Amino acid sequence: MGRKEKLNEQQQERLAVLMKPHPELAVARRFMDEFYGLFNGKPRPSTAKSRWQLMIARPEYAASPILKRALKILKDEVKFNKVSLYLNFRNLDSTSNEVERDNRGFRKRQKTHYRFRDKASLEALLKRGLVEAGAPTKRERLTRRFGNPNWIKAQAA
């Protein structure tokens, strides 16, 4: 079953029936729902931090042997600050599958074909990518970087 907010009423009832005889699993499910809700809606950093502090302070999570390891990792404030760093900037997205896909493709080419590691091969590979896809326009570069700010629209008009 998916996240709680994506379940319809019938699925939520079924989930409640399934969880009733398994209280440990119900606690783990609540933990998962709360974990996914930490950054839901891209909150302000202070809001995310207060959600995080409430979550790690819940005694039911600390008492659960299933969640012991996950809670230990989650309690690390340094890691939480790194993960939530993007909340300090309004123009940054949490992640971009396009960037991750490009990086994965680049790493794959690096691992499987060692000849791509020298400077000339990397330059040729990048030029080939620009020829096939075409160089991005100034508008595309700025939109990708800043998310589509109003001043770009004003310049285009």
> Are 143 and 98 contacting, i.e. CB atoms less than 8 angstroms apart?
no
pLDDT band, residue 2 (cuts 50/70/90)? low
Burial 26-35 (b: 16+ CB within 10 A, else e): bbbbbbeebb
Dist. CA 54–CA 57, nearest whole Å: 5
Task: Say yes or no to pLDDT of 151 above 90.
Answer: no
Dist. CA 21–CA 35, nearest whole Å: 23
According to DSSP, residue 134 is labeled: -
Which residues, 6+ apart, have CB-to-CB distance to 87 below 8 Å? 39, 42, 43, 44, 45, 48
* Residue 92 tokens, joined: 């940054």
Question: Per-residue pLDDT tens for 103-139?
Answer: 777 777 666 565 556 788 778 877 777 666 677 777 7
Model pTM score: 0.55
Question: Per-residue pLDDT tens for 33-87?
Answer: 899 888 888 888 899 999 999 999 999 999 999 899 999 999 999 999 988 888 8
Task: Say yes or no to pLDDT of 147 above 60.
Answer: no
